[in-house]
Structure 1
Amino acid sequence: MMTDAKAAKKPNPALSKPLQPSNALAAIVGSAPLPRTEVVSKVWEYIKANNLQNPANKREILADDKLQAVFGGKSAVSMFEMNKHFAQHLS
């Protein structure tokens, strides 16, 4: 049985460290350094504001020109694949 101390999950400090977005990603989230979690939130805001989810499969993101620059030229990616692409645009 787990104790209460072990049950409380500690936040990963690497996830809250501000990272500098590339020019392609900055076109969507802004040019200020942001934690990874904030980058993901801002990209989702952009996706929803521009209606870029495939209506037939909400897990698929249909990339416009700005997102294609982040997604390596792909016109569609899964929401699970999206984070892999962000890693190449954050330093």
Structure 2
Amino acid sequence: MAVSMATGLFSASTLTLRPQLQHKFPIPTPPSSLRMVPLRTVTHATVSQPPADGKVRGIMKPRKISPEMQDLIGLPEVSRTQALKHIWAYIKENNLQDPENKRLIRCDEKLKKVFAGRDEVGMLQIPGLISPHFLK
């Protein structure tokens, strides 16, 4: 019975000469005159604080909406984000997305009033089409 012992050395079978791996596209080496130094950047993190006066601003601020939009949403005042949520809920409830291209919305009579009389609307056009319905 022969016992082989691993010595941690490479055997002759692993020392066979293999051709060097050739890359299809050689990796360029930078010129020796180019001095490459790691770049360090300093960033300062600050804790965001709520506005001092506590008012809600921007797209989160509830605004009065047009009567057409009120018929669709059911509220007299709503923020832009909430309006989009209500519109998408209405679209999903009434199955108004095109089954083949979910990015297209087929408008029913209520949506046509809000979306300037269009028969079809792209999903990315909705925020722009509801803008005129927010009264100042």
Task: State the TM-score, normalizing by the size of structure 2.
Answer: 0.59
- Find the residue that maps to 1:57 and give its secondary structure: coil
Rg bigger for which structure?
2
- Find the residue that maps to 1:5 and give its secondary structure: coil
1:5 corresponds to: 46
* Unpaired runs of at least 5, structure 2: 1-40, 51-55
* Higher relative contact order structure (alpha carbons within 8 Å, sequence separation ≥ 6): 1
Which consecutive segments of 4 or more residues in structure 1 shift more than 6 A?
none
- Find the residue that maps to 2:77 and give its secondary structure: coil
Matched, 1:77 2:121: yes
Instruction: Write the distance in 2 (CA, Å) between the matches of 1:82 and 1:67.
Output: 10
Q: Is the 8 A contact 1:70 1:89 kept in 2?
A: yes
Matches within 5 A, 1:32-51: 32-51=76-95
- Given the superposition, is the C-alpha separation of residues 13 and 53 from structure 1 closer, same or farther in structure 2, using an over 3 Å criterion? same
Question: What is the one-letter code of the residue matched to 1:17?
Answer: K
TM-superposed CA distance for 1:3, in Å, is 4.2
Instruction: Write the distance in 2 (CA, Å) between the matches of 1:4 and 1:51.
Output: 45
**Alignment coverage as a number of residue pairs:** 88
**Per-residue Cα deviation, 1:3-54 (whole angstroms, up to 9, x for no partner):** 4438x7x8x8211111112111111111321111000000000000000001
- Find the residue that maps to 1:31 and give its secondary structure: coil
Matched, 1:17 2:61: yes
2:103 corresponds to: 59
RMSD of aligned residue pairs (Cα, Å)? 1.9
* Unpaired runs of at least 5, structure 1: none
Instruction: Write the distance in 1 (CA, Å) between the matches of 2:68 and 2:61.
Output: 20
Question: What is the one-letter code of the residue matched to 2:46?
Answer: A
